[in-house]
Structure 1
Amino acid sequence: MTLRRVSISLLALASLVGLGNAAARANDMDTIQPFQMLRSLQFVQDTVVLGDHSAAEMQRFMLGTIDERLRSADQAIFDDPRNVDAALIYAMSGGNPATLEYLVARDINGNFDNRIADSLRKYLSGKGTLIAKSLGEISKEYRNTDLAPYLALVAGNVTITRDPADALKFYDWARLTAPGTIVEEAALRRSLAVAVDAKIVDKAGGYANRYARRYLYSPYASQFADLFVQLVVEHYDVIKQEDIEATLGYMDNDRRREVYLRIARKAAIAGRKDLTKMAADQARALSGTAEGADALANLYGSLANISTENVDDAMQAIMDIPAESLSPKDLALRRAAEAVAKEVLRKPEPPPESLTQANANTTDADAGAVAAAEDDAELQDPTAPPTPAAAPQPQPVSAEADAGNAAALDPAVRTFVDTGRSKLDAIDDLLKQESP
């Protein structure tokens, strides 16, 4: 069926359901086969993952309409295998699991394959691992049917924990038998997740490139971005800048800048200085006139220099960034960087037998008496809508304590502080060993 014909059938179906009295609608619905309605649902779902998010409401409408049609249908309608397949695909496409139970319970003619029905029953109830082996075998048996891509996708989902490599084979089959559909989008995205977790870097890079080329505007693309950032940061020794550009090249400048900023932040926290600098430079070059973009690139780029000989310049660059251009989490990261920088610049305490111990104690006491006034407001999700609140009163706390509070709320900041302190402890131990 061509795209135009599917569009026409979709509009006709909406008109039948939405117009006229209840009796007329019931009669009209009886003339539409479930497999015809399913084609309209598939068209809508494919449209959504290809970037038309306005079709999401129609998807919910179609799921409800098909559910009503399946439940009210005469059992004779399922003598047509296409309608049986439609009911099974509906269940695997976000439909009501109870409807499949209802149809199977009323199946007196044996139209439904009980093996598939039982497998889907367990899968939809969260017990998919129990049927991983049997569903995989069923999926291979149905490879030349309309059910093939859907069964392969489900088989991949339930096989991940037992055999990730086998799950990738099912996903490959799903996407190759349903190109340009929501099935391929889901299979690519889940393949990337499996490959990243299993550290199969070459395959992960291929999946990421294909996803960016085909489904960059899917509503699920944010999951892809998270996985891609993780892949780059964890495997930058294998993945080079040209590999990153090959995937990000399908994006517009705004999306590319956002991904580079996320790479720079995660890399800075992980202590990967080369990657941090590269990603920050790329984000800065793509910033254009975007407000705050340069500020974030400067922040993340300077974080990489905190533990180097250029710590003074790095800290000055960080402190020059206007606070209003940073989110609460990035402000906490800046305060944590300040605390780490102070530790880098702090002279190690001499051994107890040193004659300068008294003077060192005095100096430390004087330094400990100086506290920076910081805003101790609780960190909030930057995506949350602003809520009216009384202005917080500044409390005199040390930079280290403030960074500790931030770290308790933000795991990323906590990781940055802990990593910095572990390096500083090692430096202190080395210096103490070399002291006379």
Structure 2
Amino acid sequence: MSRRAGWAGALLALGLAAGPARAGGPEAGPGAGPLLTPAAAGPEAPGHGAPGAAPVEPLPVAARGLPVELVRTLQLLQDRIARGSTQAHLAQRQLLGHIEQRLLDLDPQAWSGSENVRAAVTFALGGGGPPVLRWMLDAGRLGEADMPLVLGALAYLEGREKEARTLLGRYDPRRAGPGLAGQLALTQAALAVREAPRRAIELLGLARLLAPGTLVEEGALRREIFVHAQGGDAGRFEALSIQYLRRFRRSVYAGTFRQRFATALTRLDFASDRARAAGLERMLAEIEPEGRRDLYLLVARAGLDQGRRETAIFAAERAAGLAAPDSGPAAQARLYRAAALIVAEGRFEEGLEALRAIDRTALAAGDAQLLDAALSTAGQIRTPPAGPAAAPGGPAAGAPAAAPRRELPQAAAIARAQEALGRVDQIIGGSDP
């Protein structure tokens, strides 16, 4: 099977049927149809649609160049990733490789047209990487107006952020055309987030407006949530999280979002643990019970790691109510609740009894280690290491009253994970779309 046939087969399996191949010369000319039309894409599987997805209109005749067609095909595939299609996610790498080769094989004269240049930049920023942009520069056919766009995109992809900010900052995403607009705003946000987070938020909001229902919107919304978390804006964090969980909870990238969400939620100042609990319930009401249970477990574990005892207890109790009594998630919930209780004022004995009742065979390796750490901590609380005698009138040695000032030890892996999750620049400028 040829590479072209393999690519076409992958698209057909997803319902993304390509138009008939044309022999010889450029594959698109006057009157040629686009590789992908709305009818060819077909409906997404039940339960996997994203409300408000932008309708795909046929390309105007003037825009029917091969780069434009190929990039439109890629974007439609990526939009299915935002709606939860794992098949589309698996097919993406093969399609990216095919499009790259097709663009590299074009006659250099193709890059004298601005619409082809914009399509190639969209491809590069949307996962294609720098090779095509380097080839375009080497071909020497770029117009003066398009040169900064290509140089800026290449600088961004190669990590030269200052140069990329200067070059790409010349362009208004709202005037960049429908294919490039959202991707350009997303890239400009990534370049602004370290030095100007408020500007990054504006650009992420613009990206969402310019590309509704697409993977660009999903990525922009996901990233904007964590910029607000880093800035301590609990209200916007909650509002946008509800929107994400309502519209993109099936996204292929939702698993990554949930991990970061749980950590960010416990770090934000919601004025009180009661307010945090109420906000959490509002946010998680948007998803199905099983997903809600898993998120409550993530929040409970993050609460333990960060010393948020009340949050950990609340989330663990909610998770337990959504889990089958003898299931693994139920054992996790009991563990997290008990581990928090031993360092909660006046609840040490309750927590210790609950820890001793947990069946460690029902726990994953990481949770079994947490159980051991919690039991060890409980032993230290009950019988502290020998030291100077307590001052007269002070608390007796070993009294549980000291428990509220003690915290569970954090494993090195958990500490590393927290540090990674807290870096907004990694969230914004990471490899995921």
Work out whether the TM-score is over 0.5: yes
Shift of the 41–289 alpha-carbon distance from structure 1 to 2, 3 Å rule, reads: farther
Among 208, 226, 236, which residue is 2:259 paired with? Answer: 226
How far residue 348 of structure 1 moved from its aligned partner, in angstroms, is 7.8
Deviations 1:63-83 (A, max 9, x none): 222222222222343454322
The residue aligned with 2:115 is 82
User: Is 1:331 matched with 2:371?
Assistant: no
CA distance in 2, matches of 1:338, 1:303: 8
Q: Is this contact kept in 2: 1:139–1:155, CA < 8 A?
A: no
CA distance in 1, matches of 2:228, 2:122: 27
What residue identity is the alignment partner of 2:289?
N
Among 93, 97, 106, which residue is 2:139 paired with? Answer: 106
What residue identity is the alignment partner of 1:226?
Q
Among 167, 172, 179, which residue is 2:212 paired with? Answer: 179
Q: Is this contact kept in 2: 1:129–1:159, CA < 8 A?
A: no
CA distance in 2, matches of 1:411, 1:129: 33
The residue aligned with 2:422 is none
User: Is 1:167 matched with 2:200?
Assistant: yes
Among 298, 307, 311, which residue is 2:334 paired with? Answer: 298
User: Is 1:149 matched with 2:182?
Assistant: yes
CA distance in 2, matches of 1:327, 1:26: 58
TM-score after normalising by structure 1: 0.73
How far residue 143 of structure 1 moved from its aligned partner, in angstroms, is 5.0
The residue aligned with 2:242 is 209
CA distance in 1, matches of 2:390, 2:303: 41
The residue aligned with 2:88 is 55
How far residue 134 of structure 1 moved from its aligned partner, in angstroms, is 4.2
Deviations 1:359-416 (A, max 9, x none): x9xx9xxxxxxxxxxxxxxxxxxxxxxxxxxxxxxxxxxxxxxx99x9665445999x
The residue aligned with 1:386 is none
How far residue 94 of structure 1 moved from its aligned partner, in angstroms, is 0.9
User: Is 1:317 matched with 2:354?
Assistant: yes
Shift of the 184–77 alpha-carbon distance from structure 1 to 2, 3 Å rule, reads: same
Shift of the 166–409 alpha-carbon distance from structure 1 to 2, 3 Å rule, reads: closer
What residue identity is the alignment partner of 2:312?
T
How far residue 250 of structure 1 moved from its aligned partner, in angstroms, is 2.4
Shift of the 217–54 alpha-carbon distance from structure 1 to 2, 3 Å rule, reads: same
CA distance in 2, matches of 1:111, 1:70: 21
Deviations 1:195-221 (A, max 9, x none): 112222222222212211121111211
Unmatched runs of 5 consecutive residues or more in structure 2: 1-10, 30-64, 399-406, 419-433
Unmatched runs of 5 consecutive residues or more in structure 1: 1-5, 17-23, 364-402, 416-436
Give 1 or 2: higher helix fraction. 1
Shift of the 161–129 alpha-carbon distance from structure 1 to 2, 3 Å rule, reads: farther
Matched position secondary structure for 2:318? helix
Shift of the 145–218 alpha-carbon distance from structure 1 to 2, 3 Å rule, reads: closer
What residue identity is the alignment partner of 2:316?
A
1:7-86 matches, cutoff 5 A: 10-13=16-19, 16=21, 29=27, 33-86=66-119
How far residue 109 of structure 1 moved from its aligned partner, in angstroms, is 5.7
Deviations 1:99-147 (A, max 9, x none): 1111122133627611111111110101124332442332357356542
The residue aligned with 2:224 is 191
Number of aligned residue pairs: 356
Matched position secondary structure for 2:188? helix
TM-score after normalising by structure 2: 0.73
Which of the pair has more CA radius of gyration?
1
Q: Is this contact kept in 1: 2:84–2:250, CA < 8 A?
A: yes
The residue aligned with 1:268 is 304
What residue identity is the alignment partner of 1:193?
F
Matched position secondary structure for 1:103? helix
Shift of the 64–290 alpha-carbon distance from structure 1 to 2, 3 Å rule, reads: farther
The residue aligned with 2:126 is 93
Matched position secondary structure for 1:303? helix
How far residue 251 of structure 1 moved from its aligned partner, in angstroms, is 1.6
How far residue 53 of structure 1 moved from its aligned partner, in angstroms, is 1.1
Shift of the 181–73 alpha-carbon distance from structure 1 to 2, 3 Å rule, reads: same
How far residue 341 of structure 1 moved from its aligned partner, in angstroms, is 1.3
Shift of the 321–41 alpha-carbon distance from structure 1 to 2, 3 Å rule, reads: same
How far residue 317 of structure 1 moved from its aligned partner, in angstroms, is 0.9
User: Is 1:242 matched with 2:242?
Assistant: no
How far residue 90 of structure 1 moved from its aligned partner, in angstroms, is 0.9
Shift of the 290–162 alpha-carbon distance from structure 1 to 2, 3 Å rule, reads: farther
How far residue 157 of structure 1 moved from its aligned partner, in angstroms, is 0.5
What residue identity is the alignment partner of 1:131?
A
The residue aligned with 2:156 is 123
How far residue 172 of structure 1 moved from its aligned partner, in angstroms, is 0.8
CA distance in 2, matches of 1:220, 1:205: 19
What residue identity is the alignment partner of 2:366?
K
What residue identity is the alignment partner of 1:312?
E
Q: CA RMSD in A?
A: 3.3
Deviations 1:204-262 (A, max 9, x none): 22221221112111121122112221232123634533322222122211111011011
How far residue 266 of structure 1 moved from its aligned partner, in angstroms, is 1.7
CA distance in 1, matches of 2:417, 2:189: 36
User: Is 1:286 matched with 2:322?
Assistant: yes
